[in-house]
Structure 1
Amino acid sequence: MTLKLYGFWRSNAAFRVRVALALKALPYEEIDIDLLSGDQFDSAYAEINAGHVVPTLVHDDRQIFQSLAIIEYLDEIAPEPPLLPAEPFERAYTRSLAMVLAADVHPLTVPRVRQHLKDVLAADSSGIEAWCRHWTAEGLATYERLLLRRPPAPFALGEFISVGDIGIAGQVALAEVYHMDLSSYPQVEALAKRCFALSAFSDAHPFAQPGYRAKNPR
């Protein structure tokens, strides 16, 4: 199996796919597409992803895009360990957890939205930062309410790590990119700590990527 992942250190969507690949112990080559420099608009990458976004998974020369679609594809070609439960309600529940981040929050903070805020609404950097922090906080609050209704034990579905946990951990990673305080979201913070104690999550974190370390040498 030959897998390539086109991603970017700061991409939360690429983070989600990195976690899934690691949980399934699938080797892959990651190719960096610098979204802040505009690499996504290069003609060569446009042939790979017509949406000019990351991530893109290439499996034996076939392209798959959108993080949750990629994760479900990985679940089908490499079923162990499963990231979606078999029972229909639990399957829908964990998908809904993942989509709080992937559908409701993260799309509002991506580079093209931030650029639109700057170009069309004349937002300055502090205003754009406030926008991103607002929507990230909305996602954290939603997850906190959901986890209060169904406390993790120790993960969102019990002992079984799911795509729902990947979504919640991704929400926390997004908050950490914006240097946000998590103390108002104790359920979310505790679940994320359990996730990031696993190398599949910690090694996929944006701050653990070579692109981040190159820009922030210690």
Structure 2
Amino acid sequence: MNTKIREAPMYDILFSYIQQFNSVPITADEKERYRAAFSPFKLRRKQYFLQEGNRCHSFAFIIKGAMRQFTIDEKGAEHIVRLGIENWWMGDRESYVMNTPSVYNIDAWENTEMLLLSRQHALDLSTIPSFSYMLHRLDEKNNMANQRRITAAISASAEKRYREFAACYPDLLDRFPQHIIASYLGFTKDTLSRLKNKHVKE
């Protein structure tokens, strides 16, 4: 099978994603630059994309599958920092930008297909208006999401955190098991189970 034919749908998904942030259609020339910059990559379930101590050389745009970003404490317990599914980005931004060792682990929770973008290629694409505007919009969304999460962690009850998560990210509830969701929200699996049952009954 021709490789370009097999990989074409992956790039079509990327183009549709970028287009949703822009009112002006992406040009054929821009699409060629995107194809040259993004590289197809696959991970099997439980395979690492990044391990603590290594540098994050690329960011992943998830085409198909699910990934998680987490830390491991001194007792060996995992603490989920970020979850990602189709049309989400995954990587350690600090390590990616600063070229420093990462404090995070990132692995595939499902068999995952992605498009990788290196730091240098990202800088090269920054001259494309559609890419630059997408990054601007993503930064705005991420800043608001991080602010909401910090506020919830400081002041919101477990029930409120769960309800807001279920309302904002219903797809994640279907893709990840309870212990993963519980770790992300900062409480135990038993607490999540109780809140989930209460939510279903209501």
User: Comparing both structures, which one devotes a greater share of its residues to helix?
Assistant: 1
Q: Do the structures match in fold with TM over 0.5? A: no
State the structure with more CA Rg. Answer: 2
User: Comparing both structures, which one devotes a greater share of its residues to strand?
Assistant: 2
Q: Normalising to structure 2: TM-score of the pair?
A: 0.32
Q: Normalising to structure 1: TM-score of the pair?
A: 0.30
